[in-house]
Structure 1
Amino acid sequence: MRSFLLAAIVCAVAAPAVAIETQCKGNEKNLETYLKMYDVLFMKRDESRVLEFYAPEFVSHNSDAGGGGAETRTAESMKPMWIDSKKNQPDRVMINELILCAGNLVVARVTMKGTQTGPLFGMTATGKTYSTTATDIYRFKDGKVVERWGNSDGIGMLSQLGLLLPFAQAQAARAEKK
């Protein structure tokens, strides 16, 4: 009966967010936390609730932020990301395509779609739409994210938004400056 109730809760929370079956038997608590975090932080972008899901300090291995090495960050430092995304991509949606769990890890592959209506990375709004993918791995301890690995197709997104110069144009612009 307990498993049935948990499955019903997960389905109710995740129904609009999960596009395919999850593989998380035995890891329902971390799955439930991920799905709630996904809804609150990534869909609603309610940055005021970040400490519900992230430890006050966590380790980020976020290659799409220009890094790749381990970096200790604070949960508070994540707030601007959600605040900015509400401004520059208010219609953004994220769709869970695949969720896998193992031990204290949750792996999520998502598709993101949106329209750039405000400045993004200091670049003027284009009004163009994009569709891109991302994969995130979260390590949970005591119900909170304590480590995250993430990457996304940022080049693909910027290209779709017209914010990347084709290589030949970039080379020509550099040559003109010399």
Structure 2
Amino acid sequence: MADIATLFVAEGPAAFGVDSYQWVSLAMLVLIGVFIWKKVPGMITGGLDDKIAQIKQQLDEAKALRAEAETLREEYASKIAGAQKDAEKMMEGARREADAILAKAEADSEAMVARRQRMAEDKIAAAERDAVDNVRASAANAAAAASRSIIAEKHDAEADRALADKVISSI
């Protein structure tokens, strides 16, 4: 034990009767005194307070930005929901319009088919009338031709004179 104690006891020159470890202690006291006299602790705490204030300001700005971002997110979420509702309404309107167009097209095609059927029936009826008229005209022409030939065969000049005398006497 004694050997260890001698290791820690420094034997060396002393100035003004003060050992080296006492000079170090005195230097530390002077340094601490200068720090206090120059208000170094106040500067350190002031710097720390400034840093704390900056951090608080940054946190407040971050909170404000977060609140703004959440507001924008909610706004865009509502816009997206509104856009989806509008798209659904537009799709429903388009479906109704397509159904109406389809129904109108079907009605128009049915009306067109009915018109064309009537036109065809009218053409057929006109063709029938023309055919009947042609048959009647042909029959009348044939009857007239047959009458002429019969009259020519059975009616001679003597019969013509008797007929002419009969007509003249009736007048």
Q: TM-score, normalised by structure 2?
A: 0.20
Which structure: greater helix fraction?
Answer: 2
Kindly indicate whether structure 1 or structure 2 has the higher relative contact order, using CA contacts under 8 Å at least 6 residues apart. 1
**Higher Rg of the two aligned structures:** 2
